[in-house]
Amino acid sequence: MHEVLTTMIDQLDHKALTKAGVIGWGAPVLSFGDLSLAQVATVGLNPSNREFMDEAGSELEGKHRRFHTLGSLGLDDWCEVDTRHLRLILDSYRRYFTCNPYENWFRRLDLILSATEFSFFSSTSVACHVDLIPYATARKWSELSIQQRASLLLVAGDMLALLIRKSPIRVLILNGRSVVENFEKLAARRLSSKIMSEWSLPRRDSAGVAGIAYKGMIDEISGVSLSRPVLVLGYNHNIQSSFGVTGEVIGGIRAWVAEELRVYL
């Protein structure tokens, strides 16, 4: 993983990343959890700025720190990174769920895995989380312009394939419609979709928001071979932010994911 991390760090000064508002003093985030042990990974868009800063915008420090920064490594510029720094950064990924994880976000996502043997918080059946883009941005993905999003995908889109190829991951679980749509762009293929009536989100003034399950097999992303087929599952509701996601809907998604993994793994 040293080589992939070095490539990601080298890209931090790319003009397109700067224009997209990437937090340049924060290290790229290859994974949340131990990628070298995980067969299952959930997938998001890109790391939250809250992985590096508090609500007031100040850098997390001490026991609150989640990932390394220029400051925590004692560096003035990323060109000063050496093997020792790379080891420290990689170790922060592995230890993420045992230190100070972003609980409000990951505990809810872990519910989707809770009917399986896998968990972010397990020491044996390890699951991890990866993002389509390994760089945190000062603003949320939804607040970025179409051009900024496209630039991020263009610059960093092949990184996910390189990570998967160097890991034992066999299943990816896409969290929400935006993740599914952008993943399909990177993979250059459409996943099959199925309306799941029991996942519908109720609305007072309408028929509700339909639930959709996505599924497919891929062996490359952004033209980069994964060296093996990988099962991709997804759902259109963002578990953390979709308005009105009920416990019943989460339970339905959880049961579907568990059955798909039972058959495949």
**Structural domain that includes position 16:** 2-264
- Check if the beta carbon of residue 167 is closer than 8 Å to that of residue 35: yes
Angle between helices 177-187 and 146-156 (to 10 degrees): 50
Average pLDDT, the chain: 94
DSSP state of 190: P
With bands split at pLDDT 50, 70 and 90, how would you rate the model's confidence at 136? very high
Structural domain count of the chain: 1
CATH of the domain at 104: 3.40.470.10
Residue 223 backbone class (left: φ over 0; alpha: ψ -120 to 50; beta: rest):
left
Tell which residue, 24, 6, 55, has the closest CA to residue 135.
Answer: 24
What are the pLDDT digits (tens) for 212-232? Answer: 999 999 999 999 999 999 999
The better pLDDT of the pair 157, 50 is held by 50
42-60 pLDDT, tens digit per residue, is 999 999 999 999 999 999 9
* Stretch (H or E) spanning 219: strand 206-221
Q: List residues bridging with 246 in a β-sheet.
A: none
pLDDT of residue 118 exceeding 90, the answer is yes
Eight-class DSSP state of 134: -
Instruction: Give the span between the Cα atoms of 229 and 218, in whole angstroms.
Output: 6
pLDDT at 205 over 90: no
pTM of the model: 0.96
Give the pLDDT band (50/70/90) at residue 204. Answer: confident
| Dihedral (CA of 167, 132, 152, 75) sign | negative
- Among candidates 32, 38, 6, 26, which has minimal Cα distance to 170? 38
Statement: residue 242 has pLDDT above 70: no
Minimum mean pLDDT range among 111-125, 129-143, 235-249: 235-249
Of residues 30, 35, 29, the one with CA closest to residue 49: 29
Mean pLDDT of 93-99: 95
- Tell me the average pLDDT across 146-156: 94
